[in-house]
Structure 1
Amino acid sequence: MRTSAPVTWHERTSRIALIVLWVARLLFKPLLTLWPSNDFGIAVLGRLSWLVDKVTPTPRNVHVTETELGGVPAEQIMSPKPVDDPLEDATILYFHGGGFIFCGPSTHRQLCVQLALESGAPVYSMDYRQVPVVPVAGSVQDAMSAYEALLGIADDPTRIIVGGDSAGGYLAAKVAEIAARRGLQRPAAVIGYSPLLNLDLGDHDRAYMVRDAYLPIKALDKLRPRWIGEDAIEGEMNPVDADPALFPPMFLCAAEYELTRPDVEIMTHRLAEAGRVVETHLWRGQVHAWPVLARALPEALELITLSIAFARRAVVALDDGRAA
């Protein structure tokens, strides 16, 4: 591991991570390349959440209940509350990834369970609307509806941690940006696991982009018109282009070769140059959004622990600022 603030490179790769990497390259990437991007293809992918829900065992040591925030369906995951911990009164609002077309709370349940266990805070995992029901603008509206509702019921609305992976990382960043633009209470921190910070993926070197272990750039090119639709996205379309002053402390990560890494690095440097708090981890030998494999990968568990430690520091700094 080597650190050049605010970026830390992780060189070590476990055997299971290498297996996941090569399975993704040899199986999932060719499959996703050929998968139809029409309504039928998206609908079939949408059944993934239902399948995962059926085969995944019920998590132990936590309580999982169906709920809603601002009219948006969600899972609430509760674990034993910490005692004398900066996150004692915190709440985590989490948005799953899936390219704005599939996945849901069930596919990301193990990740959210781990977040709850690490922090002791309740985690709300949101089931926001996606393509083809709504374009990205609709997903953003659901994310803001959930956040505004959470401001009204959280134990401490100043200690809300907003997180997400991939497309969910986009929503987490948008919540922070839009909250600041509207003059709302901003999140205490944002956690982005391989966050999608730029919908214009073609802005970057194609030779680099094709090295992603399982996300085919051609398939995403076909999806982009459906992402954008006719509805305008509030604020900047791409969070990476937003004013860095709008963002609270941000924790970011990316695999060495993945589509989202260029913008993660751009965002990191823009935040750092503006004097904002940012911590970024780049990891060799991982696949896009690897923390989703929370119970299978030691690197996933390590990264989740790092992100919660960052959230604790952000809350402590917030309290120190109040005291001053």
Structure 2
Amino acid sequence: MDSAKEVNIPPFVRTPSSQSRVLTTAVRLGVRPFAGRIKGRSATIRFWRTLLGAGSRCLRPDSRVSVEPIIDPCIEDPDVKRPVRGEWLRPPGSSNREGAILYLHGGGYAICSPRTHRVITARLAAETGLPVLVPDYRLAPEHPFPAAFEDTLDAYRLLIARGVPPERIIIAGDSSGGHLATALTVEACRTGLPAPGGVVLFSPWVDLTGELAMASTMRRRDPYIDPAVATRFGRLYVGAGDWSDPRLSLLTCPSEELPPFLIQVGGIEVLRAEAEALAAVLEQAGSPFDLQIWPGQMHVFQIFNRMLPEADEAMREAGRFIRKVVGDDSVTEAA
């Protein structure tokens, strides 16, 4: 399609850019063959943690945003079980009173860290003018369910205890972090905690059993995710837990009223079916949501927001959604 004719077309339905096609091919040839060999052994997981940690240094975050380590016991809330560890990302002039983003990083519940996702979290901070809290939650297999969930719940309680208005808290996450973000939101509504103002999900992994991914029509086209590997990671995290636990099983219709959701997913990734299934659950529950399927894009393509025009546009879409939820009068769009 002629680029001039696409100006007035929403970015999430445009023809993939040449940069996107080149990157997708490179990942398919250079990463997918090795990713498929992950067997879930401790030595292999440690190797991938080191590799991805080193690789993340090649993706430089927005320099306007400061990074502050945090170890906070949050003595104000006795329900916080462990000190909240992680980092704050703060754009110039930000204030917690205006709101905050709680970002939960992906990595199959076994790899990655706040550092590996700074190119996303710093961009969210710059795009919205809001501080972003990224908890360094415990990882499987050393710490199976419910460790990661409890750590993110503590981080949410910390925000509330420190005076951030719940309606101005956005819970966001990618991949397994999208599972955590959804589980945390549903749990807050289910247990009477103040609900967040909105939820942003990038390529959410919501079916830890792997059944939807294994059955996906994108199984052979996905340049990055091997459904069999995703299934192994799901088992590592769930461990001896009950698969029907509402903090794990997200594709049952919630009875509670949920806040607005923005769901972005790549058009050629196996988790597309899961994003569509979650959207169907939200629709059945009568909860507001916006599902964006980005043609030709792979898993968590937003991490390349300084390289790909689609990723850049996706982050702008997320910023617009967040500003709308918290109120345009309290935050300023990045230049």
Q: Deviations over 1:51-99 (max 9, x none)?
A: 246666574212111013552321111102479xxx9701000011111
Corresponding residue SS for 1:107: helix
5+ residue gaps in structure 2? 1-5, 73-81, 331-335
The root-mean-square deviation of aligned C-alpha atoms, in Å, is 2.7
5+ residue gaps in structure 1? 320-324
- Preserved CA contact (<8 Å) 1:49 1:104: no
1:51 counterpart = 2:54: yes
If the length of structure 2 is used for normalisation, what is the TM-score?
Answer: 0.85
Counterpart Cα distance in 1 of 2:167 and 2:71: 20
Q: Which residue of 1 aligns with 2:26?
A: 23
Q: Which residue of 1 aligns with 2:240?
A: 230
- Preserved CA contact (<8 Å) 1:210 1:217: no
- Preserved CA contact (<8 Å) 2:197 2:259: yes
Q: Which residue of 2 aligns with 1:174?
A: 183
Corresponding residue SS for 1:161: strand
Q: Which residue of 2 aligns with 1:322?
A: none
If the length of structure 1 is used for normalisation, what is the TM-score?
Answer: 0.87
Q: Which residue of 1 aligns with 2:277?
A: 266
Q: Partner amino acid for 2:124?
A: L
Q: Which residue of 2 aligns with 1:309?
A: 320
Q: Which moved more, 1:233-242 or 1:24-33?
A: 233-242
What stretches of structure 1 move > 6 A for 4+ residues in a row?
Answer: none
Task: Classify 1:257/1:50 alpha carbon distance in 2 versus 1 (closer, same or farther; 3 Å).
Answer: closer
Counterpart Cα distance in 1 of 2:246 and 2:38: 32
Counterpart Cα distance in 2 of 1:210 and 1:177: 32
Within-5 A mapping of 1:1-324: 9-48=12-51, 50-52=53-55, 59-68=62-71, 71-81=83-93, 89-203=98-212, 205-232=215-242, 235-243=246-254, 245-316=256-327
Counterpart Cα distance in 2 of 1:54 and 1:305: 23
Q: Partner amino acid for 2:18?
A: R
Q: Deviations over 1:216-241 (max 9, x none)?
A: 11222333321210134752422222
Task: Classify 1:24/1:315 alpha carbon distance in 2 versus 1 (closer, same or farther; 3 Å).
Answer: same
Task: Classify 1:201/1:244 alpha carbon distance in 2 versus 1 (closer, same or farther; 3 Å).
Answer: farther
Task: Classify 1:29/1:113 alpha carbon distance in 2 versus 1 (closer, same or farther; 3 Å).
Answer: same
Task: Classify 1:120/1:9 alpha carbon distance in 2 versus 1 (closer, same or farther; 3 Å).
Answer: closer
Paired-residue identity, %: 27
